[in-house]
Amino acid sequence: MVSLADEVLPLVRTRSDVHRWSAANAYGFRVHQAVTLLQDAADTQPAGEVLAVTQRALASALKVIARADDSSGIIGGAIKDLLQLHVTLTNAAPPPPARLVAWMIGFQFDSVVDYFTLDPAAYGPALGERGMALYRAKLAEIADQVGPALTKQEEQLLWQQRLTDPDAWDQESERRHVRFVLDWNARRLAVWDRDIDAIIATHARDRQVAAWLTDTAEALAEIGEYDLAIDWARDATFFGRGYQSVAAAHHWCSLVAEHHPDQELSARLEVFDRWPTATHASAVHQSAGASWGEYSEHVTTALSAHPREAVSFTLNTLDNVPLAWELAHTLGLDEPGLWDTLAGRYEAIDPLAVVPIHTAQVLAELEQADAKRYRAAAKRLAHLRVLTQGSEQAAAIDELIAELRTTHRRRPRMQHEFDRAGLP
């Protein structure tokens, strides 16, 4: 009878050259197969036995990814799945605390690669009180050995000396990574302890980055402190106007919608007023529901200063194609991709009205000598012939095709694509 290890480990272990992208991808798919086998086994076999094989598979996969071209992320994704399975199995069949702590410390500080993290809070049930105390003690020992972070002045001086003393710079780079791992553990252990003050101290840090405020909100929500989480998410939203605050706004509104649904519309409006985009307008529209009419004018007026957002919202959320067409013209939309989408929707209403849009797109496609562009232009011209069939504009499209053939007579590939599309 074939054992689980005999089924799984040959899929994960390899001496093949995985520097090539294709070889690395093929290996990654095999690791995903191994993960599936382990997940299936977890439902039918003792958790401790599956855990032992999972841990061996992890060790092998880490050795391979260290020398692989995993630019597709396939191997990394499989390793993350193995780590998640490891947590589940460990909590189902906890090993001796000292053994688990040794593995967790080794994985984080002595692994062959350093771009995977463990969540000590997730291992909390398996560690228990004794194991958690031992784990904290080991972290404290490492913190004492690595020492405090350099001041900015000290780091700048070390950077200036890196050419004359590269070893000192390399050693400090290693210490910097160790401190990063220690900081991550401090944040997750604060969550495990459900310590609000510690969560704020470790996540918000000096409160100078919007993303850190969002991290604080997420951690507070994780322990059920939803009102505090909402306050911190709101602070992150109005911290600035960059992408981190935009992401924070989404998180803030989601928290409000889940825990204070009566306040959601107000929050959505605040976000829209700060960033009047089609996405935020759609959120207001959805939240307003039957009362949308009360806010319609406010939203559309604000969007009118941003043609792309106004047309996109009207077309995709309100599904008002005639109004979107009108706004595109009156507001001076300058977005070829959106014009193309709009024309595709509007031609069902007035086929001939979209002819200028498609014609402009054809000319734009042929500005560059490229086979893909030739095919796109030929396909669009064929579509124009169908749209204008039986109308006065049909002759004009054929004249355009003839003109393009003459103008680009030294582009045999274009001529070929035109022929393939059945153009005259």
Q: At what angle do helices 412-420 and 394-407 cross, to 10 degrees?
A: 150
* pLDDT tops 80 at residue 1: no
Q: How far apart are CA 386 and CA 24, in angstroms?
A: 47
Does the reported pTM lie above 0.85?
yes
Q: How far apart are CA 200 and CA 226, in angstroms?
A: 14
* pLDDT tops 90 at residue 158: no
* pLDDT tops 70 at residue 83: yes
The pLDDT assigned to 170 comes to: 79
Share of the chain above pLDDT 90, in %: 92
Between residues 150 and 38, which one has the greater pLDDT? 38
Between residues 152 and 201, which one has the greater pLDDT? 201
Say if residue 136 is exposed, middle or buried (CB neighbours under 10 Å; 0-12, 13-18, 19+).
Answer: middle
Confidence of residue 397 (pLDDT cuts 50, 70, 90): very high
Q: Please state the rounded mean pLDDT for residues 45-73.
A: 96
pLDDT tens digits for range 334-350 = 999 999 999 999 999 99
pLDDT tens digits for range 188-224 = 999 999 999 999 999 999 999 999 999 999 999 999 9
Q: What is the 3-state secondary structure (H, E, C) of the chain?
A: CCCHHHHHHHHHCCCCCCCCHHHHHHHHHHHHHHHHHHHHHHCCCCHHHHHHHHHHHHHHHHHHHCCCCCCCCHHHHHHHHHHHHHHHHHHHCCCCHHHHHHHHHHHHHCCCCCCCCCCCCCCHHHHHHHHHHHHHHHHHHHHHHHCCCCCHHHHHHHHHCCCCCHHHHHHHHHHHHHHHHHHHHHHHHHHHHCCHHHHHHHHHCCCCCHHHHHHHHHHHHHCCCHHHHHHHHHHHHCCCCCHHHHHHHHHHHHHHHHHCHHHHHHHHHHHHHHCCCHHHHHHHHHHHHHHHHHCHHHHHHHHCCCHHHHHHHHHHHCCCHHHHHHHHHHCCCCCHHHHHHHHHHHCCCCHHHHHHHHHHHHHHHCCCCCHHHHHHHHHHHHHHHHHHCCCCCHHHHHHHHHHHHHHCCCCHHHHHHHHHCCCC
Cβ contact 219:189 at 8 Å: no
pLDDT tens digits for range 19-31 = 999 999 999 999 9
Q: What is the 3-state secondary structure (H, E, C) of 196-246?
A: HHHHHHHHHCCCCCHHHHHHHHHHHHHCCCHHHHHHHHHHHHCCCCCHHHH
